[in-house]
Structure 1
Amino acid sequence: MGIDQLILHITTRDRAEIAQRTGVYRADSLDTEGFIHCSTQDQVIWVANQFYAGQRDLVLLCIDPQKVNSEIRYEAVEGVGTFPHIYGELNADAIVKILDFPPHADGTFLLPNNL
């Protein structure tokens, strides 16, 4: 994956709105693990179906890695692949799009058409 491609983060609509108001986004994992979990477009559906099946009120933060002020590391997750992790707060101006991310009736996710 090229550094110029968008990376994605799954969160709730409320948290995305707070980021827009305050100018920064913080995930719980920043405090518990030291980074914000992100995915590439090829990975995000696996992540959504693995960890968020059936959850409603989700959105995708579409992040331009060139605009992120914190360090981004692409790190191996054993048996799964290499994922982008943001080591610090995410500056809201790096979020170029926020997309609704509802599950289908069976609880599974597909990529939004407008991604």
Structure 2
Amino acid sequence: MTDRIIHHMCRADEWDAARPAGRYPGSSQDVQDGFIHFSTAAQVVESAAKHRAGQDGLLLLTVDADRLGDALRWEPSRGGQLFPHLYGPLPVDAVLRVDPLPLGPDGRHVFPAGFPFTLQDLVP
């Protein structure tokens, strides 16, 4: 895979706790699975609906996959699609953007204006 921009959804309190340490260990589900779950821009809306339905207080982390090195692996998951999985903590400095991911009136997550983001939007 060559998607350089990948996304992770997490609770705001989890992210706030990780920032001072400089690394995010993942959610409790990530820890249980042994890796941090990410999605591409084409996958993340469906991932939100499937795995985070009805959850409020979430953030969308937009991450530069090139900063993750060999710990990032692309592995088959839902429907045989390749998903990015990070085997290790997420370095805070790999996160290019953090956006709230509120619920809309229909109960679905509302993605930020301008999503999906391009590399030119994020990296000077």
Query: 1:25: Cα distance to partner?
Result: 0.2
Structure 2: state its 5+ residue gaps.
Answer: 116-124
Unaligned runs of 5+ in 1: none
Partner of 1:43: 43
Task: Report the equivalent of 1:19.
Answer: 18
Partners in 1 of 2:111 and 2:2 — Cα distance?
20
TM-score scaled by length of structure 2? 0.82
Corresponding residue of 1:85: 85
How far apart, CA to CA, are the structure 2 residues paired with 1:78 and 1:7? 16
Q: Compute the displacement of 1:45 (Å).
A: 0.4
Given the two structures, how large is their TM-score scaled by the length of structure 1? 0.88
Q: Is the 8 A contact 1:9 1:38 kept in 2?
A: yes
Shift of 1:56: 0.7
Alpha carbon RMSD of aligned pairs, Å?
Answer: 1.7
Calculate percent identity across the aligned residue pairs: 33
Q: Which residues of 2 match residues 1-115 of structure 1 at below 5 A?
A: 1-3=1-3, 5-27=4-26, 28-68=28-68, 71-79=71-79, 81-115=81-115
Aligned length: 114
Corresponding residue SS for 1:79: helix
**How many angstroms apart in 2 are the aligned matches of 1:34 and 1:70?**
15
Higher helix share: 2
Structure 1 moving runs of 4+ over 6 Å: none
